[in-house]
Amino acid sequence: MLLRGASAGLALALLLLPQLASAESALCQTGRRQSPIDIVAPVRHKLPALEFRYRPAALKIANDGHTARVRFANASQLLIGREVFTLQQFHFHTPGGDRLAGEEFPMAAHLLHKSKSGQLLALVVLFRQGAENPALAALWPHLPAHADGDHLVANATADASGLLPVSRAYYRYPGSLTAAPCTEGVTWLVMKQPLTLSAPQLAFWRARFADNIRGPQALQGRIVEESW
Kindly list the residues in this chain that would bind Zn ion in the complex (CB under 5 A): 110
Q: Is residue 16 helix, strand or coil? A: helix
Amino acid at the residue 182: C
Least distance CB 197 / Zn ion (angstroms): 17
Least distance CB 46 / Zn ion (angstroms): 28
Question: CA 157, CA 146: separation in Å to the nearest integer?
Answer: 21
Q: Is the dihedral of CA 167, 173, 179, 181 positive or negative?
A: positive
Q: Shortest Cβ contact with Zn ion: which residue?
A: 110
Three-point CA angle 164, 167, 172, nearest 5°: 80
C-alpha dist (Å) from residue 175 to 45, 53, 211: 18, 24, 21
User: Mind telling me the catalytic residues?
Assistant: 66
Least distance CB 98 / Zn ion (angstroms): 10
Q: Cβ closer to Zn ion: 110 or 172?
A: 110
Q: Cβ closer to Zn ion: 59 or 213?
A: 213
Q: Cβ closer to Zn ion: 3 or 91?
A: 91
